């Protein structure tokens, strides 16, 4: 399994191999950064052009006419996306950005009492989530230093679920956690964490940015209260693509913490009344007018996922990352690399996390050699072989390019510091 020809044989057996041709792949480049920004597909391009054409053809009437009327697009795409996160169609809406949606959900679900005032998170979560949580605490008059509880990592890479559960004390009003840690790729047991939170009377939500499109979910059946995510990583919706959120149906009717005219019931929205009549599903948690052109690529992109199936995507993703780790251990054992992500399938997300003291300059050397990785401070290299467009031969070649870089010390000509955008 360690030769190039054996990698090609694995590709010949891959039942998802035909989908690679759907994507725009730059010749001479191995793209392993789909966990940060997914590649453009032909379907996403077509749907964007179709929406542009509807603007050209209909003008303002595009809000209600055409194949994809803009007025209903956020809800329509939410219905399509429900399959990816395992919930009812009315529990998802495509809206906002990741952080704006987090602000909306925390403003809605963080309702401190005399006994419960604290928000529970973890110290390894994506910083934007921490910024938002601190902001929401301040808006409620609480000092984040006292009221934001960040569960510590034992090894600097992962968080033990037992430590999260232990921190679910009677002072906690709300829990916000990632589904997958953005650096190490650790996949949390969302079902168990939700059950434990609810046993203690605490609501819980998840940031799915690094799992949606790579890992199946069952948010409704698990009882997760809310979730939010971006759509430009594994879902390939394009840079700045409009994000999405989920709210369990038991919370329908709850007034949104941040209201705007797109929170309204559709048949009341243009009555322009001073009092909001919120929608009776996840649509109530929209705020402003949707960004139609930044939503459009999802129309095409989601059709791929519904066609392929999340279980098929997950199985190929696991096999690709497993193959990459085996090659790394075989070919790079002499070069100080450490695999920092969990090894077990049930605890691993969609990318491999390598640690090396000279990670920043190694990433620059990889890019110079046509391999696109992702650097994470201080010493992390993220490599994401994506099921829809990466191959086993991509993985084989990338690892051997990395080996050659180390053998010939090609990385030494680059500074060991990140660029403006890592």
Does the annotation mark 234 as catalytic?
A: no
| Catalytic annotation, pick one of 80, 116, 348, 382 | 382
Find the catalytic residue in 110, 228, 232, 262.
232
Distance of CA 199 to the CA centre of its chain: 27
Cα torsion at 323, 324, 325, 328 (round to 10°)? 120
Residues tagged in the binding site annotation: 98-99, 126-129, 207, 210, 232, 261, 289
Separation of alpha carbons 373 and 362, rounded Å: 10
Find the angle CA(321)-CA(322)-CA(326) to the nearest 5 degrees. Answer: 115
| Residues in CB range of 119: below 8 A, 6 or more apart | 106, 110, 133, 136, 137, 147, 148, 149, 172, 173, 174, 175, 176
The reply to whether 109 belongs to the active site is no
Nearest to 180 by CA among 134, 229, 133, 131: 229
Is residue 373 within 8 A of residue 395, CB to CB? The reply is no
Q: Which of 83, 126, 131, 335 is catalytic?
A: 126
List the binding residues for pyridoxal 5'-phosphate: 98-99, 126-129, 207, 210, 232, 261, 289
Q: DSSP labels for 245-299?
A: EEE-GGGTTPPPSS--GGGB-TTTGGG--SS--B-SSGGGG--S---HHHHTHHH
Is position 207 annotated as part of the catalytic site?
yes
314 is catalytic: no
Surface-to-core class of residue 200, CB atoms within 10 Å of its CB (0-12 exposed, 13-18 middle, 19+ buried): middle
Q: Which of 43, 233, 348, 376 is catalytic?
A: 233
Confirm whether 285 is a catalytic residue.
Answer: no
Which of 122, 207, 225, 374 does the annotation list as catalytic?
207
Q: Which residues are catalytic?
A: 126, 207, 232-233, 382
């Amino acid at each position: 399994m360690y030769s190039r020809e054996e990698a090609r044989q694995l590709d010949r057996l891959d039942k998802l191999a035909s989908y690679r041709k759907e994507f725009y792949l730059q010749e001479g480049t191995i793209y392993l950064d789909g966990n940060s920004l997914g590649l453009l597909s032909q379907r996403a391009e077509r749907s964007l052009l179709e929406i542009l054409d509807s603007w050209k053809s209909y003008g303002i009437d595009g809000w209600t006419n055409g194949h994809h009327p803009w007025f209903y697009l956020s809800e329509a795409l939410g219905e399509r996306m429900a399959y990816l996160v395992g919930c009812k169609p009315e529990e998802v809406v495509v809206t906002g950005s990741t952080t704006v949606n987090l602000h909306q959900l925390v403003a809605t679900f963080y309702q401190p009492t005399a006994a419960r005032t604290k928000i529970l998170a973890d110290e390894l979560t994506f910083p934007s989530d921490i910024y938002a949580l601190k902001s929401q605490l301040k808006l409620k008059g609480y000092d984040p230093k006292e009221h934001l509880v960040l569960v510590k990592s034992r090894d600097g890479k992962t968080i033990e679920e037992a430590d999260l559960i232990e921190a679910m004390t009677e002072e906690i009003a709300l829990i916000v956690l990632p589904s997958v840690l953005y650096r190490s790729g650790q996949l949390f047991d969302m079902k168990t964490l939700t059950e434990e939170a609810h046993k203690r009377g605490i609501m819980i939500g998840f940031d799915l940015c690094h799992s949606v499109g790579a890992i199946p979910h069952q948010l409704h059946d698990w009882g997760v209260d809310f979730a939010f995510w971006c759509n430009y990583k594994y879902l390939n919706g394009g840079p700045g693509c409009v994000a999405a959120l989920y709210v369990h149906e038991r919370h329908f009717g709850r007034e949104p913490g941040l209201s705007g005219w797109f929170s309204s019931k559709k048949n009341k929205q243009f009555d322009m009344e001073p009092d909001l009549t919120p929608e009776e599903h996840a649509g109530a948690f929209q705020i402003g007018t949707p960004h139609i052109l930044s939503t459009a690529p999802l129309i095409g992109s989601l059709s791929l996922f519904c066609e392929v199936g999340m279980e098929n995507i997950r199985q190929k993703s696991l096999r690709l990352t497993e193959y990459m780790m085996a090659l790394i251990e075989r070919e790079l054992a002499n070069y100080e690399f450490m695999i920092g992500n969990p090894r077990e399938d049930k605890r691993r997300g969609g990318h491999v996390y390598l640690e090396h003291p000279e990670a920043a300059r190694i990433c620059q050397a990889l890019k110079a050699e046509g391999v696109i990785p992702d650097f994470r401070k201080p010493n992390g290299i993220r490599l994401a072989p994506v099921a829809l467009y990466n191959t086993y031969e991509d993985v084989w070649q990338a690892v051997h390019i990395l080996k050659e870089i180390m053998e010939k010390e090609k990385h030494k000509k680059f500074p060991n510091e990140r660029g403006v955008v890592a």
